Each structure stands twice: as structure tokens, then as C-alpha cells.
């Protein structure tokens, strides 16, 4: 279970966390631009609160991934990818709601139905990734 290598096979976690942290920093600047009513950005992001939630969620997901990486426990490829992809899709749900305020709350039109399906898929992938990662870390505490 535990590998004493540089990355324990989990370099994709480190790359994903770094990318999502960069996205969070870009979103921080977008928040500033929206508050200062600079051109263009407020036309893209129409719901400040959802933009803030997206920013915070990317930060949170990055921190969680960095923490799982720091445990240096080997994760199977599907758990690694579910963590990274789930962290992105989960956080992007808030961005979609910021760009398309009609998704908050979703209605019964085709676009909202696609958003609902994307939401359920995202939650499933994120739960599988982070839940699987948590179980593997927990299990590693009982072995050498």
C-alpha cells in the first residue's frame, strides 16, 4: 500500500492540485475585476456569489489534493484521476452558475437538464475519488 518513492505514483495529484490552484488565483483576479466593474469580466460572470464559491471550491479542492498527495500513499490510477477530474468538475459547477444565472436554480429546459446530469456525474466522480482516496489512506495506517 505505502510506497517510499518521491511521488508514490501520484504525480497526477500534484499536477492537478497545482493547476486548480492556478485556476483559483485567476478567479481571484476575476472577482476583483467584477467588484471594480472593469470591462468584459462582469459580462462573463454575472453572479458574484457563485464566482466566489467557485474560487473557494478550487482552493479547497487544491488543499485536499495536496493533503492526499502528502500522505504518500499509492492510489490506483482510477482513484487518482477521479480525484483530479472530480475536483475540477465539482468546482466548475459554481462557475457555470455564475456565467449562466438561469441555472440557479435549474429549470426544466434542455440546458438545465444537461446541467443536472453534469452535476450528478460530477458528484459521483468526486465522491468516488475522494472517498476512495480517504479509504486508502485510512487503510494504510494499519500496515507498514
Q: In this predicted model, what pLDDT tens digit does every residue of 122-143 receive, in sequence order?
A: 999 999 999 999 999 999 999 7
Span between the terminal Cα atoms of the chain, in Å: 8
48/57 Cα distance (integer angstroms): 14
Q: In this predicted model, what pLDDT tens digit does every residue of 41-73 receive, in sequence order?
A: 999 999 999 999 999 999 999 999 999 999 989
User: Domain coordinates of the chain in residue numbers?
Assistant: 11-140
Q: Mean pLDDT, the chain, as a whole number?
A: 92
**pTM here?**
0.90
Q: Do residues 45 and 34 make contact, with C-beta atoms less than 8 angstroms apart?
A: yes
Amino acid at each position: 500500500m505505502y510506497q517510499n518513492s518521491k511521488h508514490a505514483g501520484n504525480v497526477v495529484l500534484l499536477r492537478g492540485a497545482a493547476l486548480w490552484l492556478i485556476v483559483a488565483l485567476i478567479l481571484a483576479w476575476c472577482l476583483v475585476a467584477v467588484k471594480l466593474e472593469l470591462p468584459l469580466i462582469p459580462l462573463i460572470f454575472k453572479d458574484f456569489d457563485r464566482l466566489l464559491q467557485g474560487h473557494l471550491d478550487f482552493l479547497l479542492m487544491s488543499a485536499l489534493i495536496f493533503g492526499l498527495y502528502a500522505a504518500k500513499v499509492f492510489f490506483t490510477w482510477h482513484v487518482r484521476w477521479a480525484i483530479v477530474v472530480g475536483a475540477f468538475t465539482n468546482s466548475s459547477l459554481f462557475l457555470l452558475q455564475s456565467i449562466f444565472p438561469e441555472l440557479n436554480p435549474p429549470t426544466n429546459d434542455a440546458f438545465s437538464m444537461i446541467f443536472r446530469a453534469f452535476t450528478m456525474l460530477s458528484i459521483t466522480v468526486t465522491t468516488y475519488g475522494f472517498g476512495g482516496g480517504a479509504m486508502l489512506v485510512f487503510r494504510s495506517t494499519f500496515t507498514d
